[in-house]
Each structure stands twice: as structure tokens, then as C-alpha cells.
Structure 1
Amino acid sequence: MTAELVRGQNHPLPGTRVEIRVTAGTPLVAGATLNDEQGRMRDAGWIAHPAAPQLPGVEVSRQAAAVHHLAVDPGALPQGVHRVNILLALPAVPGAPADFAGLAAPFLAVTGQDGEQIASYTVTGLSAESAVVALELYLRGDIWKVRAVGQGYADGLAAMLADQGLAEARALAGTINEAVAAGMARSVAPAPDRPTRHAAGGRTGTGQPAGAPSRPTAPSASSAPSAGAQPSAAGTGTGAGGGPIDYRHPRRATPTPQPAAGPTPAASVPPQSAAGPQSGGPQSGGPQGHGQGHGQDTSQPVAGDAPGWSMEERLYNQVWGMFEDLARSVAAYRSAVDFADSRMERELEGVLDDPRARIGPAADAARAEARAKHSALVEQARGVLERDMAQLEAESEVVEPALPPALARWDNPVWQAYEPPTERPMALRVGDLSLSERPELRIPMLVRLPLERGLWIDSGRLRGAEAGLADADELRRLAQLTATALAARIVAVHPANEMTVHVIDPAGSAATSLLPLVESGVLRDPPAAGASGVARTLERLTQRVDLVQMAVRSRATDALPPDLDLADQLLVVHDFPHGFDDRAVNQLRYLADEGPSVGVSLLVVADREEARGYGPVLDPLWRSLLRLTPVPDDHLADPWVGHAWTYEPPLAPSNSQVVPQVLRRVVAARHSS
């Protein structure tokens, strides 16, 4: 059970590696200081910060961001370290807030290696402060504990570091702020080509390149109807509407890059390395290449070449690294094009400033020169982008076939040899993501298991480029098929008898799409129909949530009814809100909010426009769900660089029998267990 700490409270830790997840309403700088028994820092080498994100046993982010994932491994800390302070500070850059007054309170969650949340703390009461010691991990006897601190400093990082005994506090604070400011610069000229991305030996750290924006964390449904941020245990999120969505990003090893001695022509770029693509300079935000020093890396891509405790975790991190690389490379290209455009505009304006020089051979030559410079810059940026895309495609061709079922597409041969797993996987593939610069390069969209957020498949009218390609009935049918494909995948990646599926289909409109679940026997009960069926199903699940929550809180799980299904539960709701009265709507909202904590997940097929009659009462429900679409649509936007990502649903190939085949094996495993 998660300990919700208040200031001054402490809670024991397992003594193994833990992750500290930080969520805020604005970009923050995150760091960690090492301290002795008296709470003093030995020197500037005892702090992990954006300019130096790794210490033995500590990893922090390289950039200011609204969501951070920090890691602390007590067993790997240097000798003499008895405390680790988690620091948060507002970036000292133009346009950033000067203090925490009026800002959302930062939220921190400490999780173990199994992903289970151990403790959480919301840093309340901040106002004129611009930096805060949020948490303290400390050694008491032989036990590591975490304490909620919340000590703020109005004079910022320098005062905080000085308070911990660092003599060069002001100079170090300046170094940190300079690194953050350099990384947050957007429209910049292309930097020297080909910096070093990884040290020899592969991905060993968890940072990200200096000069890049904070790593992408969360696609958001920017075109969805409702807006507003929704903090959750996992981080910042929105549901349907235009803020960041919590789409957790793991760590990608990227030591601080150094510029190469000179540009390298795109034609001479070697094959993609195991670590990923290469790109423009550290200021461009593009991905960096795997190599040693400034030399070229000639190794081939390798599946699983990322940090992790298991092959599954390494592949998971590698996929997320590919997502990061694609986002950063495209951001570098777009930034370079923006720079070229603005530079040409300035030069052309300079020609027009002097009325006497607006016409004539000299003016024509100046215009031609400005356009030629623009073309050269754009061509150079395009060459770097094409190189990066080719390298990422090479990595994708190696990684995709190596993915386990939970992360693989339905057309992956791994499903042909499918057998129900004995353990729950760490993540689930819910579709693919791509960008317009290279739409054929698709990156798996992964969400962690167990699902902390429900999924909403939008069966309503499309608003993007795909609008008009399908009528309302066809969209509803595709949404129903997508829901079945996702439900089948969720069942298939869980051990036999550890996932029970319930379906609500009030009008029976989804009967055809539900055939794979019904005919295979995965559904233990027929789909609930009519208002009475809706009421029975919701009553049963809400009662289960109440019972399990009370048992967990009172530490009396052995007192649960013997006939209670303790398997995880997945509720699939079609045609919401048809068949739902006010009570049923409130129960569904309750399941969306409280269900995930006790193993009840939600998958809703709905057209939000059809739910307008309920007014704003459903807004929290939409915000709590991750919006997906039944056809490719560019409705997802990461808050890192603001890319509009095209989402492609995880449908099986046409006329494929892979889904029914997999479900039959699931049922056979149930009967044999």
C-alpha cells in the first residue's frame, strides 16, 4: 500500500534501486545531492544535475521538464554517503516563473523495481521559493528511508547548495542554469555535425544529450474535445483534451555529447549503430551517434542494446529510446528549417530597407544569394534528417522482430508460437506512432502494466486529415474492432486465469466485433445488454473495488469472500453512454478513478459528442482516459517539443486468424491450469 507522506513523515525503502517520478505543472530542474551523516556535501562532485546527470547510484534528467524520472540505487552510492536529497528548482531562463506562487504543487512518487509505488508526496505550501528540497533518502541503521522535506529557498539553487555546505554553491548554480538555458533554446542554427552520443560499450546511463529539450514523456490528445491537466500517480495527464498525457518515458543512455571536429557528409555515414541514430549538433536537439571519441561507429543495430534488468526491459527502453531519437531528430530538422526561413527573411528585409537598392542587379543578386543560403541550410538539415531516419529504420528492422508478444504487432511471427505467459509483462503495445517527415517509420506506442489509465477509443467524427474517409457507422465499427483487438491483447499478455473480461454492449451493436471474444470462450459471461445489464455489471465491479480496497487498507485480505474473483478485471464498454443513467455514469467514473489501484481497468468505446447531454459531469472521465482513435490520426502531441504524432491502432491484418487463434490458446491454458 502506498504511503502518502506529509511534510516530516518518513517511510522505509527496500534498500534496492528506486525511481522517483516528479510531476509538475511547469518545467522544473531536478537534481540530487549526496550528503554525509551531518547532511553536508563533500564537494561539487556530490551532486547530480542537468550538466552532470550521473553519479554512482544516482541518475537525474539532463533538462528542465514537467515530468522527471530520477533513479537512486543505495547499494551503488559512494562510501560515506548517508543521505540523498532530491532537489527541484525553477529554471532561471526568460519567461519561466520566478517562484512557485500560483503554480501547481509538485508531486513526487517513489517506486520500486517492480513498478509498485512505495510512497508519494505533494510539495504544498510553496510561494516565494524558487527551489526546494523535496525528498530526503537517508540511512537509519541498516535501513534506507524516505522523508518528505519540502524545504523551500527564496534565493534559489545557490542558497540551497550553500545550505548543504558547498563552498562554490553560486558558481555551480550558474553552471546548472547555463546548461538548462542552452538546452531550452529552440530556434538555433545547425550545430557542427556528428557529436558523440554513447560511450563505447552501448547504453550505460540514463541521461539525454545536452542541449536537447527534456525527453518526450506524454503524448496528449491535442485535438480531443476537452482540455485541462490531470495529475495522477503516474504523472501529469489529460484525458481528452489538450494538455500533456502521462505516457511514461524510460531512460535512454546518452552521455553528454561533444561536437565532432567537423561535419561529415551524409553519404559517408556508416550503418546505424546498436545505440541508435545520429544527428546534428547538441544544440539542434537531434539524436547522437554511438561511437568512441569522435570516430565513426561501424557496428550494426542490435536488439536489446539498452539498459535494463531483463531482455524485456532492455527492449522496452530501446523502443522508448527510438521514440526519443525520432522526436529529437525531427525537432532538429524543423528548428533548422525555421532558422533558415528567418535568416532569409531578415536578409530579404535588409535588401528592401533601402528604397534605392530595391531594384537593379545588386538587389537581384542579394535576393538570389539569400535564397541560395536558405536552400543550402535546408538541404544540409534534410541530409542529416535522412541519415537519421535511415539509421532509425535499420534499428527498427532489427528490434521489431525481437519484440515479445506484449510489445509486438499482430503480424509479428512471435504470435504464431504464442503460449500464455507465466508472468505479467511490464508494458503493452497499444498502437504505433509516426511523424509526417517519415510516416513509414512507426514506433510502438507502449503503456505500462497494470494500466493506470483507462483507454478511450473515440468512435466520433474525425477532425483531422482523416475526416471524411469513413462515415459514422464505419467509424463505430472500426472502433469496436479496435476495442476487441486491444482487449484480446490485454488478455493474451496476462497469465492464464489472471485477467477476467466483462463487456457492456447495451444495444448489441458490437456483437459482430465481439465474436472472437465470445466464440473463444474468453468471455465467461455474455455481454451485458440493456439498462439492467449495465446496472448489474457496474454494481458487481464497484462492489469488488470497495471490498478489495477495504481489505487492503485494513490488512485483512484473507477475509475477502472465497468466491470473489481475485484476477485482474477488464471492463469493455461499447456505445457509452447508451443505457447509462446517472447512477451508472457515477459508477463508471468511480471505476475509472479507483479501479486501477485494485486491478480493474477500463476500455470505453464512445463518441463524446453523443455524451453532451450529461454536461460537464463527464469531463473528469474523459480526462482520466487515454484517447485513441480507430483509424490513423494525428491527434497525439508530446509536450516535449510539441510534435503532432500520428497514432495507428493495433488492428490485426485483414482476414488474419491470429486473434481467434491466440484467444483459443488462452482458454485452453485456463482449462489446463
Structure 2
Amino acid sequence: MTAELTRGQNHPLPGARLEIRVSAGTPVVAGATLGDEQGAVHGVEWVAHPGTPTLPGLEVSRQAAADHRLAVDLDALPDTVHRVSVLLALPAGGQGPLRFGAVAAPFVAVTGLDGDEVASYTVTGLEAESAVVALELYRRRGVWKVRAVGQGYAGGLAELLTDQKLPEAHRLAATVHEAVARGLARSVPAPPARAADADRPRQAATPAQGPDHAGATQGTPGAVPPVSPYDAQGPAGPTTPGVPGQHGAPQPYRDGPGDPAATGRPSTPTGGSPIDYSHPRRQNAAPPPPPPTAPPAEPGRTARPVAGDATGWSMEERLYNQVWGMFEDLARTTAAYRSAVDFADSRMEKELDQALSDPRSRIGGQGNAAREAARARHGELVSRAREVLDRDVAQLLAEAEVVEPALPAAFARWDNPVWHAYRVPMEIPMALRLGDLHLPDADRVRIPLLMRLPLERGLWIDSGRSASAEGSLTDSHETRRLGLETAVAHAARLLAVYPAGEFTVHVIDPAGSGAQALSPLVRSGVLAAPPAVGAAGAAEVLARLTQRVDLVQMALRGGAPDALPPGVDTSQQLLIVNDFPHGFDDRAVNQLRYLADEGPAVGVHLMMVADREDSAGYGPLLDPLWRSLLRLTPVPDDHLADPWVGHAWTYEPALVPPGSQVLHQVLTQVAAARRSWGR
């Protein structure tokens, strides 16, 4: 059970290796300080922040973002450390909010490495403060606990650090804000507020309420602030400026929910997420009105859904925003249902306790009548909540039935007829479909999982044993095969949605065990070279891609992105690594981590097909690598969370139907276009 803490409460920690998840309604800087028994911070080397993100036993994010994950290994902390304070601060000098009172209350959760939540805390009561100590991990008599603190500072990060007795507090605060400003920490905006009701004619999801239940309030499941989306940071955010091979002019990062002119949408703060809803090739102008919708429904009947009824610059963007609207609607209506059921359960328990507290009513007809009445009221509340959920789910299902056939190829399933009319595109789409998401409460509704392009995070196809029912019945060899087939399907889709010559795929298969699964890529000729085998082959590919990252970084830092040596491939690069860590020595592992950290910013992306347990011999060295990748599974598994209420969604990969020739047909066209482009 998760302990929902209030200010001052503490809770024991079950283990030494933890993650601290932060969600805010706006980009924030997350850091941590190490303190002695009195809580004093002895120097700047005791502070982890975006400019210095790693300390022994502690790692924080390099970026200002609406969502963070901090890694803590209590056993690896120095013996003199007795306290770890988690700090949140609003970036200085930006166009975002200047005080926490203007945004949604930050939400902080402590979890184990398995993702199970240990304790959570919503930092309420903040007004003029721009920095806050959210919580602290502290050691007493050899036992570690977590305490909800919520101490805010109107004087910002400098005042906070001064209060922790850091001599160089003002200088370090300036260093942190400078690191954020100059790009060591990219500011990733939270999603803008949902369009108004006139924009999207869907009926709002409302919880079923009892006679004395005025709706979900703070502390109920329906009102919990958002938690970390998509297992880590979620789909990629805004377009990376200045990357060779990228379409469109370089774009600045959006200002987030405080800048309605940049998004063309309301500026009300919403739950934190690194998803950028703005179109990567448009700026500073309001989008055109949505296409005409169906006429108003007759009284008592819902309006007929229309594909593309969200705002956007094009039908592609309208469909993209509509899919995300459906995603949010299902998350919130399910939260309302679960909140109503929880309320009904707690009310019945309270009524039963009251009935049984009187010894005279414990036996006989009076007690039985009280129990039956409590159960009847419980059933009525749950039934009413289910009716509301079924109504909203039916509306979403009807919308999905008109939206799915209208999706472009990049957003569509492999069995969508749009793939049979496939032609190599002239420009990249906004996003790519990686699979489907659904909830057990509304199993019939499938929401496409769309990830923005170009990629800003690598992908990890987990070939280990899954905890799901389907995964537990699949042996390890079959799971590895399915993992590589899933990677091939994702790579083929990436190749298909990029213009000819603007996306290149490399493969490292050290043991050659993936020959059968890789055959569609090999036979069609879309790979840059045959899959690299053996330690020498892996080293050669890694060295070449590492050199490309170095060259492009130097060109960008020198202000001359076009001044690259002859022969440097400026297209987006994808490296598929199968069967990791087989065939990788320490040097190769370090190169792989370098590509995962630095590659996405300059167009080099990583797709790992691996079982994390296989790399356990490296210890915590590879933990940052796994955390930097978006984990996907080759079999259905409920490991992804939405950015609004944090439901655990079941993910299903986007696989090619058995016996279908669509993958062969698409790759054949991609290979032909690639050959024509290279002439």
C-alpha cells in the first residue's frame, strides 16, 4: 500500500535503491542536497543539480522539465551523509511562472526499482515561493525513512541553500540557473490545457456522486496530481534546433502553458508531461478553426463523432491532438469511476462500523437490516458510477471507430488499408505510432501511443520475462525472438515515414542470433550495411556513430552546422542493438551510454533489444542507460502511466499481422526510393 503523506509525516523505506518521481504543472529544476546529522550541507560538492547531476549514490535530471526521476542508492552514500533533501525550483529569468502559487501543486513519489510506490506527497500550500524542499530521506539509528517537508522559500534557490547552511549558496544558485539557461538542461514544457468545450464536443467525464459526495477532491484518486508519464519522461518533446537532416527551420523551445500565443490554446496549467503539442514547423499564429462538425444532436442523444475535430494546422495535427484528447478523456473518466467506487467502499465500511459499534445491533434482525442497507447503498453508488463510465466509454469507442480509419500511415496500425496505398513521403510526420494502450475498466477502447518525431529518447524493447499473464507463459527464447521482431516493426515504420535518404538504420547482432527476425530489413536492402557480428563488428559500428556525434556536436558548437567533413551522413541514424550485453566490452558499453545520452540531440538514436537482468554484472553502471530509454515490451504489459492521473495502462506493441505482406511491400518501396535518391 502507498503511504499518502501530509506535511511532517514520515514513512519507513523498504530498500536502499529508490526512484523519486516528480510531476509539476510547469518545467521545474530538480536537485538534491546531502546533509550531515544536523542537516548541514558542507559544500557545493554535496549538491546534485542539472550542472552536476551525479554524486555517489545520487543522480538527478540534467534538464528543467515538468516530470523528473531521481535515482538514489542509499547504500552508496558516504557514511557522513544522514539526510537527502529533494529540492524543486522554478527556472529563473524565463517566461514561465515566478511562483509556485500560480501552478498546480507539485507531486512527489518515492518508488522502488520495480515501480511500486512506497510513499507520495502533494506539496500544497505554496504561494509566493519559487523554491521548495519537497521531501527528505533521513537516517535514524541505522534506519532510513522518508519525510514530507514542503518548506517553501520566496527568495528562491539561493535562500533555500542558505537555510541549509551552504556557504556558497548564492553562487551555486546562480550556477544552477545559468546551466538551465545555456542549455545544459533543456526546458521541456508541460502539455497545454485541453481545448475548450467548443473545440471538442465530447461530453466531459464527471464522477458519479452520492448524496454527500460533491465530487473528487484533493486526496481522492480522481484528483491526484499527475505522475511520471510513460515509464520515464514520455514521448519526445519539441524539435531539436539545428540538427542536420531535419526538416523545417530551427525552432525554439516552447514556453509552455504560460505562453498561449505560442500554442494557440488556453494557458491554464495542467498536469506535467514532456509532450509538446505544438506543431514543429509553425510559430506564433493561431491555428485555423477545426473542420465543420456534425450538426447538433437531438435532445437526449450524443453528437456523432467526427475525425479531426481538434484544432491544428493540418488534418494530421488535428488527428494527433484528437488522439491525445481521447487519451486524456479516458484517463480522467476512469479516474472519476475509480474515485466513486472508492468512496462507495469507504462509505459502506463506515456505515458497517457504525452499525456494529452498538452491541445491541450486532445480532438479530436490526443488525442484518443495517448491513443490507449499507450494501444496497454501496451497490447503488457503484452502479451509478458504472453507468457514467459506460456512457463515456461508448462515446469514446464511437469516436475511435471514426478516427482509426482516418489516421495517416505514421499513426495507423499495420492492418490499416492506408498502408496498401503507401508512398514514400516528402517530409516527416509529427509523430509515430508505437502501439496501443488500454485500461481494464474500458478494455474495448484502444488508444494509439504516439511519439513525437524526431525522436528525443531511445527505445528499449525489453526481452526479459514479463510479469503479465501472457509474458509469464512465454519462454525466454520466444520472448527474445518477439523482442527483435517488435524492434524490426518499429524500425520499418521509422524508415517508412521519413523521406528517402533521411533515415539510416544500423544493426549490431554480435552472436548472429537474430538473423531470422532481421531478414525483412536485410532482404529489402534498407540497411546501411549488413548486421555487424562479433565484438569487432560491434566496435566498428559504435566507433563510427560516436565519431558522427562528436563531429556534429563540434559543428553546432562552432555555429557552422553545415561545415561537416565530406562523407558524413547527415541523415537521422538508428542503431538497433540485439542481445546486449553479449559481445560488448567495457569500452563498447561506455560508447553505448554516450550514444544514448548525447546521440538524440544530433540525430543518432538507440533501440536496445535486451533483458536488463543480463547486464546485472555491470552493477549500477548501466542504470542511467536503462532510465534514459523508453521501455516497451513485445507482449502486452501494464508498465506505462499517463501524464494526467497516473493510471497503469496496458501497452500492446504495433506488430505486423501474421501472414501479411505489408511490411515487405513497404520496405521494398523504401529501398527503391533510397537507391533512386543515392544516384
TM-score of the aligned structures, taking structure 1 as reference length: 0.64
| Structure 1 segment 123-272 matched on structure 2, within 5 A | 125=158, 127=160, 199-200=197-198, 202=200, 213=223, 219-221=229-231, 248=275, 250=277
Say if 1:576 and 1:201 are closer, same or farther in 2 by CA, change over 3 A.
closer
CA contact (8 A) 1:506 1:534 kept: yes
CA distance in 1, matches of 2:97, 2:400: 36
Aligned to 1:485: 489
Q: What's the offset of the Cα at 1:554?
A: 0.6
1:253-289 C-alpha deviation (Å, 9 max, x unpaired): xxxxxxxxxxxxxxxxxxxx9999xxxxxxxxxxxxx
CA contact (8 A) 1:631 1:649 kept: yes
CA contact (8 A) 1:213 1:640 kept: no
Q: What's the offset of the Cα at 1:86?
A: 3.2
Amino acid at match of 1:306: A
Aligned to 1:399: 403
Q: What's the offset of the Cα at 1:366?
A: 1.2
Say if 1:615 and 1:435 are closer, same or farther in 2 by CA, change over 3 A.
same
Q: What's the offset of the Cα at 1:28?
A: 4.6
CA distance in 1, matches of 2:539, 2:582: 12
Amino acid at match of 2:333: S
1:27 paired residue among 20, 24, 30: 24
Amino acid at match of 1:335: S
1:331 paired residue among 335, 340, 347: 335
Aligned to 1:607: 611
Matched, 1:102 2:136: no
Q: What's the offset of the Cα at 1:465?
A: 2.9
Aligned to 2:449: 445
Amino acid at match of 1:315: L
Q: What's the offset of the Cα at 1:357?
A: 1.5
Say if 1:372 and 1:362 are closer, same or farther in 2 by CA, change over 3 A.
same
Matched, 1:390 2:417: no
Say if 1:247 and 1:483 are closer, same or farther in 2 by CA, change over 3 A.
farther
Aligned to 1:424: 428
1:600-658 C-alpha deviation (Å, 9 max, x unpaired): 11100000000001111000000000000000111222353231110001111011111
CA distance in 2, matches of 1:508, 1:333: 50
Aligned to 1:475: 479
Say if 1:230 and 1:314 are closer, same or farther in 2 by CA, change over 3 A.
closer
Per the alignment, in what secondary structure is the counterpart of residue 522 of structure 1? coil
Gaps of at least 5 residues in structure 1 are: 1-22, 32-64, 69-82, 105-122, 130-146, 150-182, 184-195, 222-227, 236-243, 252-272, 277-289
1:672 paired residue among 665, 670, 676: 676
1:138-194 C-alpha deviation (Å, 9 max, x unpaired): xxxxxxxxx979xxxxxxxxxxxxxxxxxxxxxxxxxxxxxxxxx9xxxxxxxxxxx
Amino acid at match of 2:22: G
1:372 paired residue among 352, 376, 385: 376
Aligned to 1:564: 568
CA contact (8 A) 1:30 1:87 kept: no
Per the alignment, in what secondary structure is the counterpart of residue 613 of structure 2? helix
CA contact (8 A) 1:30 1:88 kept: no
Aligned to 2:537: 533
CA contact (8 A) 1:432 1:650 kept: yes
CA contact (8 A) 2:236 2:275 kept: no
| Structure 1 segment 476-625 matched on structure 2, within 5 A | 476-625=480-629
CA contact (8 A) 1:28 1:89 kept: no
CA distance in 1, matches of 2:341, 2:123: 26
Amino acid at match of 1:578: H
CA distance in 2, matches of 1:672, 1:384: 56
Matched, 1:359 2:363: yes
CA distance in 1, matches of 2:381, 2:415: 40
2:653 paired residue among 640, 649, 659: 649
CA distance in 2, matches of 1:630, 1:245: 28
Aligned to 2:175: none
Say if 1:425 and 1:555 are closer, same or farther in 2 by CA, change over 3 A.
same
CA contact (8 A) 2:199 2:311 kept: no
CA distance in 1, matches of 2:453, 2:502: 13
Amino acid at match of 2:229: P
CA contact (8 A) 1:502 1:525 kept: yes
Amino acid at match of 1:623: R
1:294-339 C-alpha deviation (Å, 9 max, x unpaired): 9766431111111111111111110011110111111111111000
TM-score of the aligned structures, taking structure 2 as reference length: 0.64
Say if 1:220 and 1:364 are closer, same or farther in 2 by CA, change over 3 A.
same
CA distance in 2, matches of 1:231, 1:616: 25
CA distance in 2, matches of 1:436, 1:411: 24
Per the alignment, in what secondary structure is the counterpart of residue 606 of structure 2? strand
CA distance in 1, matches of 2:195, 2:233: 34
Q: What's the offset of the Cα at 1:670?
A: 1.8
CA distance in 1, matches of 2:227, 2:667: 32
Aligned to 2:348: 344
Gaps of at least 5 residues in structure 2 are: 1-19, 29-64, 69-93, 107-120, 136-155, 163-179, 183-192, 208-215, 239-252, 254-270, 279-290
CA distance in 2, matches of 1:474, 1:245: 37
Say if 1:527 and 1:245 are closer, same or farther in 2 by CA, change over 3 A.
farther
1:322 paired residue among 295, 319, 326: 326
Aligned to 2:100: 89
Amino acid at match of 1:379: S
CA contact (8 A) 2:425 2:498 kept: yes
CA contact (8 A) 1:218 1:248 kept: no
CA distance in 2, matches of 1:642, 1:218: 7
1:12-47 C-alpha deviation (Å, 9 max, x unpaired): xxxxxxxxxxx993435799xxxxxxxxxxxxxxxx
CA contact (8 A) 1:274 1:395 kept: no
1:42-92 C-alpha deviation (Å, 9 max, x unpaired): xxxxxxxxxxxxxxxxxxxxxxx9459xxxxxxxxxxxxxx9763441567
Amino acid at match of 1:248: I
Say if 1:573 and 1:275 are closer, same or farther in 2 by CA, change over 3 A.
farther
> Greater CA deviation, 303-312 or 479-488?
303-312
1:83-118 C-alpha deviation (Å, 9 max, x unpaired): 9763441567995265634359xxxxxxxxxxxxxx
Amino acid at match of 1:86: P
Say if 1:30 and 1:431 are closer, same or farther in 2 by CA, change over 3 A.
closer
Amino acid at match of 1:89: F
Say if 1:417 and 1:341 are closer, same or farther in 2 by CA, change over 3 A.
same
CA distance in 1, matches of 2:414, 2:586: 38
Per the alignment, in what secondary structure is the counterpart of residue 341 of structure 2? helix
CA distance in 2, matches of 1:587, 1:611: 15
CA distance in 2, matches of 1:85, 1:328: 26
Per the alignment, in what secondary structure is the counterpart of residue 433 of structure 2? strand
Q: What's the offset of the Cα at 1:558?
A: 3.6
Q: What's the offset of the Cα at 1:437?
A: 1.3
Say if 1:126 and 1:631 are closer, same or farther in 2 by CA, change over 3 A.
farther
Per the alignment, in what secondary structure is the counterpart of residue 491 of structure 2? helix
CA distance in 2, matches of 1:233, 1:299: 33
Say if 1:230 and 1:127 are closer, same or farther in 2 by CA, change over 3 A.
farther
CA distance in 2, matches of 1:439, 1:344: 28
Say if 1:440 and 1:314 are closer, same or farther in 2 by CA, change over 3 A.
same
Amino acid at match of 1:510: G
Q: What's the offset of the Cα at 1:441?
A: 1.5
CA contact (8 A) 1:458 1:479 kept: yes
CA contact (8 A) 1:427 1:449 kept: yes
Amino acid at match of 1:96: V
1:425-481 C-alpha deviation (Å, 9 max, x unpaired): 111111110001122321001111111110000001112333421000000000010
